[in-house]
Amino acid sequence: MRKSRTLCTFHRPGFFAWLILPVFVIILCCPLESKGQPESVKSQITEQSGSRSETISAFRRLLLDKFLEEDFEMVRNVKNYLLNEQEDDDYAVFYVPELFLLLFWTHEYNLLLEKVADVDYVFLNRFARKIKPPYDLLYLKLTERTTAAAETLENIVENDPELQTEEKEFLVLLLRYLIADGNEGEHSNLDQTQINSLAENHLEKYPESDQEYFIRHFIRLQFKPSPWGFGVEFFSGYGFFTQTLDAQYSHNIPVGVAFDIYYHNFVFHLRNYIGFNRTREDIIYPDAVWQRKSQVRVFLPEISVGYGLKLNNHLAITPFAGFMATGITATEKDIEDLPALRDAGIAFAPGINTGFNFDISLGQPAQGVNMYGNRTQNQLVLRIRYNWSAPFLHNYPHINGNVHTITLGIASSGRRILRDL
């Protein structure tokens, strides 16, 4: 029994020594941040346990507690620990807006400007592959408190003697952007349109700004239609000939479809016009007579190029010129009854054409999504179109005349919506 007591007495001090030693090492390695701070950040960190994600989550909660207590020295220390000890290629400790807002509260403006300069699409791609912090209320509380104290934070920025004027103005713009559309405060009612205006003013004032990329890609959120667009039109109207053509064929009523390709203000028209009319007189051919009042089909395929001129928000005019073929034929039924009529009329004589479109907008441009999931801007217009064409009738020495058409159509056009950088 005595031997056993001696062994127990001998081994007990060694056991406690090994248990206490790490605690002394931690205490010695963790300098106090200030006299009034009884515990260092590191000592609180060592009390946490669990996975890395849990550690990050625990100290985000600690940071939030200290932020709500307005212990900004501790906020800075916890923030530094998370960035320096926990952030790496696999783990993110803050979302970008959270970090920016924190740096406004800790008045680390040079670091904030450095972080802004680091943000680009390469940075965002790397960030997307990181393990994100678990959901908590850090961002919400930061936004609430920042919105309420926006004027004070702006004044601190504007009175900082170490910042240049351009940097001060950018930081104020960034702060307003971060809290835009909030719930409280002087600047919370700023919408994206107002933020865009402020951003545009900054870019005009400082065209060589170091923050130009960030402003254009992340703060200023403007969109514009793509230079390329596509449209379709369905139309009817009235067409007539002149000279010999008018003597032989009556005026026609058409139906047709057109496809438009837009590039900036230029438009490329592909049109198919099919007119319905009758012969005015007997037209004699070597093997047949195309009798008076027989049905006639008029085909006017067209390729033309125009340039759109916007008169106001609702009216536009598009002069155009191009090539139009003129075909005049008998109906398939008449050809079946009298095959010799297959050569009657005009077999698509090429020609030139010119005219103008007069477009009346039917409402404001509408936003939509195309079949590929891209945002589009669509416009519906009422289109009045006048066209004059001069067919080349060299193969028809006894026929002459021009073609006039006036059509009324409904045209729809669409362009993709692109980011305006």
Return phi, psi of residue 246, to 5°. Answer: -70, -30
pLDDT class of 37 with cuts at 50, 70, 90: very low
| Stretch among 21-25, 58-62, 234-238, 301-305 having the lowest mean pLDDT | 21-25
Where does 240-365 have alpha helices with state H? 243-248, 332-337
Q: Residues 176-184: what's their mean pLDDT?
A: 74
> In Å, how far are 2, 16, 19, 272 from 13, measured between CA atoms?
18, 5, 10, 102
Q: For 24-35, how does the pLDDT look when each residue is reduced to its tens digit (9 = 90+)? A: 333 333 443 443
Average pLDDT of the chain, as a whole number: 86
Q: pLDDT value at position 51?
A: 84
Q: pLDDT value at position 420?
A: 84
CA-nearest of 71, 136, 56 to 106 is: 71
Q: Residues 251-274: what's their mean pLDDT?
A: 97
Q: pLDDT value at position 16?
A: 33
CA atoms lying within 13 Å on the CB side of residue 315: 3
Where in the chain are the domains? 1-30, 41-219, 225-419
- For domain 225-419, give the CATH number: 2.40.160.20
How far apart CA 375 and CA 210 sit, in angstroms, is: 31
Q: pLDDT value at position 20?
A: 33
Q: pLDDT value at position 22?
A: 38
pLDDT class of 12 with cuts at 50, 70, 90: very low
Q: Residues 307-336: what's their mean pLDDT?
A: 95
How far apart CA 250 and CA 208 sit, in angstroms, is: 68
| Stretch among 25-29, 102-106, 127-131, 357-361 having the lowest mean pLDDT | 25-29
Q: pLDDT value at position 421?
A: 82
| Stretch among 20-24, 133-137, 218-222, 314-318 having the lowest mean pLDDT | 20-24
How far apart CA 194 and CA 187 sit, in angstroms, is: 10
| Stretch among 10-19, 114-123, 176-185, 384-393 having the lowest mean pLDDT | 10-19
Q: pLDDT value at position 6?
A: 30
Please check the confidence at residue 205 and state whether its pLDDT lies above 90: yes
Which residue has better confidence, 131 or 50?
Answer: 131
Looking up tokens 């016009």 gives: 273
Which residue has better confidence, 184 or 389?
Answer: 389
Contact present, 172 and 154 (Cβ < 8 Å): yes
Please check the confidence at residue 262 and state whether its pLDDT lies above 50: yes
Q: For 57-93, how does the pLDDT look when each residue is reduced to its tens digit (9 = 90+)? A: 999 999 999 999 999 999 999 999 999 999 999 999 9
Q: pLDDT value at position 45?
A: 54
Contact present, 309 and 266 (Cβ < 8 Å): no
Please check the confidence at residue 183 and state whether its pLDDT lies above 90: no
pLDDT class of 40 with cuts at 50, 70, 90: low
DSSP string, 27-65: HHHS--S-TT-SS-HHHHHTT--S-HHHHHHHHHHHHHH
Q: Residues 163-185: what's their mean pLDDT?
A: 85
Which residue has better confidence, 174 or 3?
Answer: 174
Q: pLDDT value at position 286?
A: 87
| Stretch among 13-22, 97-106, 156-165 having the lowest mean pLDDT | 13-22
Q: pLDDT value at position 397?
A: 86
Please check the confidence at residue 244 and state whether its pLDDT lies above 60: yes
Global pTM value: 0.69
What share of the chain in percent tops pLDDT 70?
Answer: 85
Please check the confidence at residue 142 and state whether its pLDDT lies above 90: yes
Q: Residues 193-216: what's their mean pLDDT?
A: 92
pLDDT class of 17 with cuts at 50, 70, 90: very low
Which residue has better confidence, 103 or 4?
Answer: 103
